[in-house]
Amino acid sequence: MSDVVLLGAPGSGKGTQASRIASERRWVHLSTGDLFRMHLVNDTALGQLAKSYMDNGELVPDEITVDMVRDRLERVPTDARVIYDGFPRTVRQAEALDELLTDLGRSFARAVLLDVPRDELVRRMTKRATCMNCQTVYNLATNPPKREGVCDRCGGQVLQRSDESPQIIERRLDVYEKQTKPLIELYAKRGGLRRIDGTGDPLEVAKRMSEAFA
Ligand code: AMP
């Protein structure tokens, strides 16, 4: 199946949009951030390894990340389409994804970039809270859960992530600029990169996303 890579800085809305598209179209949502957080919650060896990188806003090393993606992708039927959220994040990971797709009989359709200015990213992440169970994202200023601290969707606990302190947010954005932004150029050169304005109401952004996949 032809898979889709969703690019964008932390806080650009990748998780929200990928999860919506995946449930509407029955695609598989593969979020490396969510996978790492699941390992953290379950206190696996991989979770323990990833923790210090995540806490400091750094990227988990490529080999560890790629092995985790391979493990997940091997369990996806070849006729199911995957939307990658938060992967690849380095040039090495992009190369590894190409290899994985070939090995597993999959193909690449296009990359979509959610474009949001840095000051808006900081504003969003400072107000962001996430359900620790189903990963639904809330904005405590504009879209809080109906009951404080309780997820509307699953009743799980809604908290601000530990990597969303002001200092770590800036660090994560610096890491994005340095290590992930070059991927925009890389996918643009291959052709088929769609840039989407990621500002404004999430429903409006979702409409723009749907148009990009029409
Ligand atoms: P996210 O929720 O996508 O912002 O990811 C949270 C954290 O998980 C990141 O700050 C990294 O520490 C780690 N992480 C997620 N995806 C990757 C990736 N593709 N490569 C390396 N580290 C990652």
Tens-place pLDDT, residues 118-128: 999 999 999 99
Domain count of the fold of the chain: 1
What is the 3 state secondary structure string of 78-131? CCCCEEEECCCCCHHHHHHHHHHHHHCCCEEEEEEEEECCHHHHHHHHHCEEEE
On whether residue 155 sits in a domain, the answer given is no
Residue 80 CA from chain centroid, whole number: 19
89 classed as catalytic: yes
Note the pLDDT of residue 147.
Answer: 97
Q: How far is the CA of 205 from the centre of ligand 1 (A)?
A: 23
Q: Which CATH number does the domain housing residue 13 bear?
A: 3.40.50.300
106 classed as catalytic: no
189 classed as catalytic: no
On whether residue 136 sits in a domain, the answer given is no
Which residue range is the domain that position 17 belongs to? 2-116+165-212
Q: Which of 48, 89, 179 is the best mutation target for the ligand 1 pocket, counting ligand atoms within 8 Å of the beta carbon and taking the most?
A: 89
On whether residue 127 sits in a domain, the answer given is no
Q: How far apart are CA 20 and CA 206, in angstroms?
A: 8
On whether residue 194 sits in a domain, the answer given is yes
Per this entry, what is the length of the chain?
A: 214
On whether residue 149 sits in a domain, the answer given is no
**Ligand 1 neighbourhood includes 89 CB (under 6 angstroms):** yes
172 classed as catalytic: yes
Global pTM reads 0.93
On whether residue 47 sits in a domain, the answer given is yes
92 classed as catalytic: no
Note the pLDDT of residue 169.
Answer: 95
On whether residue 184 sits in a domain, the answer given is yes
- Which residue positions in the chain have pLDDT lower than 50? none
Q: Hey, whose CA ends up nearest to atom 12 of ligand 1?
A: 54
Neighbours of 91 (CB within 10 A): 15
Q: How far is the CA of 108 from the centre of ligand 1 (A)?
A: 21
Q: How far is the CA of 109 from the centre of ligand 1 (A)?
A: 23
On whether residue 78 sits in a domain, the answer given is yes
Alpha helix stretches (DSSP H) within the chain: 14-25, 32-41, 45-55, 62-73, 91-103, 118-126, 166-175, 182-190, 202-212
Residue with token string 């749907």: 210
Q: Which of 60, 128, 160, 183 is the best mutation target for the ligand 1 pocket, counting ligand atoms within 8 Å of the beta carbon and taking the most?
A: 60
**Ligand 1 neighbourhood includes 11 CB (under 6 angstroms):** no
Neighbours of 28 (CB within 10 A): 17
Choose among 117, 63, 110, 119: nearest CA to 82. 110
Bond prior to 166 in cis (omega within 30° of 0): no
**Ligand 1 neighbourhood includes 209 CB (under 6 angstroms):** no
